[in-house]
């Protein structure tokens, strides 16, 4: 099969298409002929040598989400059969023509979505559900602030929270991105380059603050996140693009009864990921099938242009998801 590999840690140019053996699959796995694979920031981190794959994952083929057709099934697989069209969360190996996936991490393609659209779903939707709704315990009627609102994670979080009856605020880096987020139903999009988000949140919530913050920035954002949370608020961290060392006023954490939490998804076991898949299929997949939630695709690259796809990801100029096509 053709696969995109990280030849050595470095820039986008280190991604090269090579020939590799089709991967083996275990008793509880399916083998998928990949039609499309989503691009995510952890792929970029892995390419740079900062995010090594967990044991058992492909050591040099990145890719955390795919869509395609089941062509083989393990002897213990009960749900899927040859010919099924699925999308799936994987621990690596997604940038390839074939990928093995644990049965529980596969989901049917919602409604009439294409492979390209379906490949944009798993990593972001699993991440948002696990962090915003499970760890962050966001409930109907509560408010959510999402940093990086125009990212793949951001547009998924906006739509999921809105569809489930929540008020959503975001930060983004350009007026174009802010207007796009507001077109998805955001109550207020804050341009972080021209406005202090903590001051804006204080003003528009009449001093109350927000119930949950989904933060992929870290660094200097942390103190303003603490200021922006309401009493009993929850700060959920999923990345630290501005750094891991922060200054926090712990007295505010105590007085406001705040919860600060975070997670990484890739290293969690298949049982954990399968449980998220079940919640998504019950609560979110019908909304995708009906069109109430829509995949937001910025650009599709042929697999041979994976380097260009990574350059676009690192530029942060995109709105929504970047996808590789293997068809």
Residue-level pLDDT at 220: 87
- Let me know whether 258 and 294 are in one domain: no
The mean pLDDT of the chain is 96
Give pLDDT tens digits for 15-60: 999 999 999 999 999 999 999 999 999 999 999 999 889 988 899 9
CATH code where residue 107 lies = 3.90.180.10
- Let me know whether 237 and 137 are in one domain: yes
Average pLDDT on 145-162 reads 96
- Let me know whether 270 and 255 are in one domain: no
Query: Would you place residue 232 in the very low, low, confident or very high pLDDT band (cuts 50, 70, 90)?
Result: very high
pLDDT at 204 over 90: yes
Domain boundary among 235, 262, 289: 262
The boundaries of the domain holding residue 90 are 2-121+266-325
What CA–CA distance (Å, rounded) separates 222 from 234?
12
Give the residue among 91, 83, 97, 80 at the shortest CA–CA distance from 36.
97
Residue-level pLDDT at 279: 98
What CA–CA distance (Å, rounded) separates 261 from 254?
15
pTM (2 d.p.): 0.94
Query: Would you place residue 318 in the very low, low, confident or very high pLDDT band (cuts 50, 70, 90)?
Result: very high
pLDDT at 243 over 90: no
Residue-level pLDDT at 219: 86
CATH code where residue 147 lies = 3.40.50.720
What CA–CA distance (Å, rounded) separates 150 from 304?
26
Residue-level pLDDT at 89: 98
Give the residue among 91, 43, 39, 88 at the shortest CA–CA distance from 68.
88
Domain count for the chain = 2
Average pLDDT on 222-243 reads 93
Give the residue among 129, 131, 81, 133 at the shortest CA–CA distance from 108.
81
């Amino acid at each position: 099969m053709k696969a995109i590999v990280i030849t050595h840690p470095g820039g986008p140019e280190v991604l090269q298409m090579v020939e590799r053996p089709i991967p083996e699959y275990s008793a509880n796995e399916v083998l998928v002929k990949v039609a499309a694979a989503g691009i995510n920031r952890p792929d970029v981190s892995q390419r740079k040598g900062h995010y090594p794959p967990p044991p058992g994952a492909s050591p040099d083929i990145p890719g955390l989400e795919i869509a395609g057709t089941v062509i083989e099934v393990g002897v213990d697989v009960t749900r899927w059969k040859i010919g099924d069209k699925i999308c799936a969360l994987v621990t690596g190996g997604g940038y390839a023509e074939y990928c093995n996936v644990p049965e529980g991490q596969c989901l049917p393609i919602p409604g009439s979505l294409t492979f390209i659209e379906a490949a944009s779903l798993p990593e972001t939707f699993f991440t948002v559900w696990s962090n915003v709704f499970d760890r962050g315990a966001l409930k109907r009627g509560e408010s959510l602030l999402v940093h990086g609102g125009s990212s793949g994670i951001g547009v998924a979080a906006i739509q999921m929270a809105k569809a489930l009856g929540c008020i959503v605020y975001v930060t983004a880096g350009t007026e174009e991105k802010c207007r796009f987020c507001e077109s998805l139903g955001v109550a207020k999009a804050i341009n972080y380059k021209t406005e202090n988000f903590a001051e804006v949140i204080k003003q528009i919530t009449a001093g109350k603050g927000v119930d949950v913050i989904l933060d992929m920035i870290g660094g200097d954002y942390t103190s303003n996140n603490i200021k922006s949370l309401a009493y009993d608020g929850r700060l959920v961290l999923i990345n630290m693009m501005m750094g891991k060392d922060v200054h926090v006023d712990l007295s505010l954490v105590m007085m406001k009864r705040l919860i600060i939490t975070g997670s990484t998804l890739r290293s969690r076991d298949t049982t954990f990921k399968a449980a998220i898949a079940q919640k998504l299929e019950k609560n979110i997949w019908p909304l995708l099938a009906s069109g109430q939630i829509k995949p937001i695709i910025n650009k599709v690259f042929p697999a041979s242009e994976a380097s260009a796809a990574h350059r676009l990801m690192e530029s942060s100029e995109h709105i929504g998801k970047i996808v590789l096509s293997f068809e």
